[in-house]
Each structure stands twice: as C-alpha cells, then as structure tokens.
Amino acid sequence: MIMAKPKPIEEIINEIKGFDKILVAGCNGCVAVCEAGGLKEVEILASALRMYFGNQHKNMQIDEVSLTRQCDKEYLAEIKDRIGSYDAVVSIACGAGVQFMTEMYNTKRIYPGVNTCFIGVTEEKGVWTERCQACGECILARTGGICPIARCSKRILNGPCGGSSNGKCEIDKDVPCGWQLIYERLKELGELKRFEEPVSPKDWATSRDGGPRKLVKEDSQI
Amino acid sequence: MSTTTPSKLEKILAAGHFAVTSECGPPRSCDQSIVDEKARLVGPYVDVINVTDNQTAVVRMCSLASCIRIKQLGFEPVLQMTTRDRNRIGLQSDLLGAGAFGINNVLCLTGDHQRFGDHPTAANVFDLDSTQLIQTVKRMRDEGKLLGGQEMAEGVRPQLFIGAAENPFADPFEIRVLRLAKKVAAGAQFIQTQCIYNMEKFKLWMQQIVDRGLNEKVSILAGITPMKSVGMAKYMKAKVPGMDVPDEIIKRLQGVPKDKVAAEGVTMAVEQIQELKECPGVRGFHIMAIEWEVMVPEIVERAGLSPRPEVS
Ligand code: SF4
Ligand code: SF4
C-alpha cells in the first residue's frame, strides 16, 4: 500500500490563501489506511483551514469530499458536477491521485495536501514501514522474501556491507539492517548457499531508471 | 606465483614479501600540494598509496586525479572507488581513464551512506555494489568487455590488480567469511581490512579464512590505525559504524601520561603488526594513520618493514 503523511498546514495555506472557495478531497484507498488522506483526515484538514482563515477574518469557503479512489476515472467523475464552483482543490490522495485529478479537471488548480512516501505496511497501529520500491523485476524469491532494494539503505545485492552492527543499519540505530534479516531468513530456510554466489548487476531498466512505466493487459482492454 | 598485472603491489605479494600500503585523503579544495606532501611523506615507506574516494561521503578532490598526481611523483597509487556516487557508466569510464594513466590497482567499495557526510540531501546511486564492481573490473581486464558487452582489444584494457575491503568486526560475524569468499569468487585479489583493535576476533576470522583455503586465493592486508588520543579511541568505539575497540585499548591509553598517549598509540600499532606477522594468512599491512600520515614512516621502521623491497 502507498504511504503518505500530511503536509505542514502552513505549506497548504500558502498555496490557497489567494482563493475564496476550496474543496478538500480525500481518497478512501491507501492513504485512508495510513491515516493521511481519508474521510477523517479531510475533516481534520478542512476544520483546521477554516479555523485559520476565520482567525485571519478571511471569508473562505472550505468544503469536503472523500472519493472511493482518486486513481480511477470513474470515482473522480463523482465530483464532475460540483468541481466547477471551486477555485482550487486540495487533494490529500497520493501523488498519483493528485495528478490524475489534475488530468481530468485540467482547468482547475489541484494542490497536494500530503507528501507521498513509500510502498509499505502497517507494522503496528500508527507505524508504517517501507517494503518495496517497485523495481519491476522482483527478486524476493532469492532473498528469503525480504527486499534488499527497499530494506538495505544502499540497495546492495551482495550484502551486508561493513556498516551492519548488532542487526542495525549504519545509517541509524533504529533501522534494521535488511541484509541481517535476509541472512537470518535464509538460514532458517536452509538456503544459505544463495549467499555464496555473487549476484550480478541488476537490470534497472524496469525500475524508475527506465523512464515512466506503463502496463498493458490486452484482455482487459475491451 | 605469476602476476596478472604490472602492479607493484601484486609483485611484492607474489615475491612473498609482506606488503605495506597506506592511505592519503585528498583535500576539500583544489590544493594539489596536500596530496603531494602526503605522498612524499609516506611514499618511500610503503609499496602503494591508497587514495580515498570521497571518504565518509565528504566531497574531496577526486580519487582518480589524485592517483594520477601520485603516479607522476613516482609512487604507485591504489584507486579507491565507491559505487555510491557513480553508476556503471561513470565507474567504467573512470576505470578506462585509470588504465590510460597507467594506474594498476583498484579498491572496490560500496561506500559509506551519505547521511553522515557533508551533503546529506544528495541522491545516492548504488547501481552496483562492491562485489559487482569487482566483477566489472575483472571482466574489463580479463575478457576485455564492458558490462554492456562492447569489446576492447588486447593492450587497451585496464590492467588493474583488484582489491576489496572487508570488516571482520561487522555483523553478522558468521557470514563475514562467506562474504569474503563471494568477493574472491567475483575476482578480488587483495583485501584491506577494517582497522583492527580486537585481535582475538580478528584471529578468529583469519582462522576461518585459512580453514577455507581462501588465503591461497586472496592476500589479506591487516588494517592498522594508530590511536592518537583517548578521545579518538572513545569516538571510534562509540560512533564509527562497524568499529570494534575493546576496553583494554582505551584503558592502556588512559594509563600513560597525557603527553605520552600518542606515542603509546604508535607503540601499540607497532606491536600489533609484529603480532600479526605471525598470524597465518596475513600477507601485509594497510596502515591508515588518519590525518596523521607523519607517523607512517616511524611505524613502518619500528615494525621492521623498512626498507621496502625492490621488485621489477
Ligand atoms: S525486489 Fe523489486 S518488486 Fe520485489 S519487493 Fe523489492 S523493490 Fe519490490
Ligand atoms: S548496514 Fe545493512 S541495511 Fe544498512 S547499508 Fe549496510 S547492508 Fe544495507
């Protein structure tokens, strides 16, 4: 799932302060789960903005909506009839949602209300951590199900590096060393042999390095 | 033992001598005289001088330029290369440049993460890791091929003696030797270790290397760094990732008068070398006197490693 966190409110205020009518648009997909962009967060952000502009004695109408998803046209279409009446939208969906809304309503200004962070999991309530960098050529089968690209700070494929200490990464005592985890897992699986063979350079063309990516599934295109 | 390159380091090792290498950190400016000074200071006492590559992710004069300079001064450099700042295109391009200037040694590193360097907001590259850089150099040298498959004729391929670093004190300890084996399988011919202070752990690591016969395939150069002060020892223990400084080291330094601590640090380094000369598998010493290059000649002399043998 895609993780995001709210932008500092000052940044949002700075973008919208010149307008009179704003729509705050949430998304009930990923960003709702990580408590950054769902219905509840729409309410919180909208009330904070109302309070701010109220204190400034600025007459500002701030409305709320939360869509099922912002990365699908069919759900974006739900605001087709009302979007015309707003000066701008603050979308608190992920970066993809913000862009797709911009594409669909290209006469409107759509501002991002969150910082989109990573693909990850809910580790415990209120704690989300990264697991995948969408490299486009998954190697988890070789690494005991733990991703060295997302979980090693240097995305080393022949790890660990010399900075691994007590199971932690050299960059931070709170960050587990991905390669320590891989090692433990391979040991459990009896697959330590995988360690001894050098892994050759990866083809990054399927990753962001190959330029904007696209998937086509022909049998879905009817 | 026959040699694979014109490298002096390779020849020294092949002749069965203990090798002595040292290190020179280029300046954070264009002041080439700093490289010159350091090279002239340590050059006559060592076989080859490593030039660090933006060590600890701090921007410094580039390793390749400094290596060329050292070569011009008549000493033999080791080009350190990290994969943090350049992708396979940049790395191979620099390797070709190194070959063109007659540089014959390379040390393949992944590099420290930039988080603690002077540009923590930089993007990193890590297109390859150190093991893959070793593979790349080997392929360029032995097969005359770039990673993309393009070929180089014989005579115009980089002639590089390939080194790597290993930290016997990093975790998990059990796989340190396995990882070394992997670097050797990739093509590493010499290894410079992390600074050794925990002799017991180092010998345990060395024993495993000998048990696996890895010392027959790769020359291990033991990393020696003299402690300059009690503060340095404490700092290294607490702050430097992957550094193992036992309490006895700190206690011994604390046990001498303040103005004698540095001398004690040098004596400890000399004693370490003497002890490690007896350690099976150790083929030489990599003396890293960090910003204290002036002590290298004394350490080499007192450890009985001077004068350096002539090889041709
Ligand atoms: S290998 Fe690639 S696709 Fe698989 S988890 Fe890691 S980044 Fe994601
Ligand atoms: S300490 Fe572990 S996670 Fe961190 S960079 Fe090194 S191998 Fe990767």
Facing residue for B242 by CB, picked from A156, A165, A201: A165
Summarize pLDDT for B223-251 with one digit per residue, the tens: 999 999 999 999 999 988 789 999 999 99
CA-to-CA distance for A15 and A112, rounded, in angstroms?
10
pLDDT value of residue B171:
84
Q: Which ligand is nearest to the CA of A147?
A: 1
**pLDDT confidence tier of residue B175, bands split at 50, 70 and 90:** confident
- The answer to whether B50 and B286 are in contact (CB under 8 A) is yes
Facing residue for A170 by CB, picked from B88, B182, B242: B242
Per-residue confidence of chain A (222 residues) as pLDDT tens digits? 999 999 999 999 999 999 999 999 999 999 999 999 999 999 999 999 999 999 999 999 999 999 999 999 999 999 999 999 999 999 999 999 999 999 999 999 999 999 999 999 999 999 999 999 999 999 999 999 999 999 999 999 999 998 888 899 999 999 999 999 999 999 999 998 888 889 999 999 999 999 999 999 999 987
Check pLDDT > 90 for residue B260: yes
CA-to-CA distance for B163 and B220, rounded, in angstroms?
10
Burial class (CB in 10 A: 0-12, 13-18, 19+), B108: buried
Q: What is the mean pLDDT of residues B30-52?
A: 97
Q: Which residues of A touch B (CB under 8 A)?
A: 153-167, 170-172, 177, 180, 183-184, 192, 195-201, 204
State the smallest CA–CA distance between residue B278 and chain A in angstroms. 26
CA-to-CA distance for A175 and A202, rounded, in angstroms?
24
Q: Which residues of B touch A (CB under 8 A)?
A: 84, 88, 110-113, 115-116, 124, 126-132, 135-136, 147, 165-167, 170-172, 175, 178-179, 181-183, 185-186, 194, 241-242
Cβ neighbours of B3 (radius 10 Å): 16
Q: What is the mean pLDDT of chain B?
A: 96
B303: Cβ contacts below 8 Å, ≥ 6 apart: B269, B270, B273, B274, B285
**pLDDT confidence tier of residue B174, bands split at 50, 70 and 90:** confident
pLDDT value of residue B22:
97
Identify the residues whose C-beta falls under 6 Å from ligand 2.
A 152-154, 156, 159-161, 163-164, 169-170, 177-179
- Which domains does chain A carry? 2-118 (3.40.50.2300), 136-199 (no CATH)
Check pLDDT > 80 for residue B1: no
Residue A206 Cα distances to A1, A136, A141, A212, B90, angstroms: 20, 5, 17, 10, 20
Summarize pLDDT for B100-124 with one digit per residue, the tens: 999 999 999 999 999 999 999 999 9
Instruction: Say which residue the tokens 């010493």 belong to.
Output: B285
Please report which helix (H) or strand (E) contains residue B147, including its range: none
Q: How close is the Cα of A149 to the center of ligand 1, in Å? A: 7
Instruction: Say which residue the tokens 């393009």 belong to.
Output: B150
- The answer to whether A162 and B165 are in contact (CB under 8 A) is yes
| ipTM at complex level | 0.94
Cβ neighbours of B136 (radius 10 Å): 26
- Which domains does chain B carry? 8-228+272-302 (3.20.20.220)
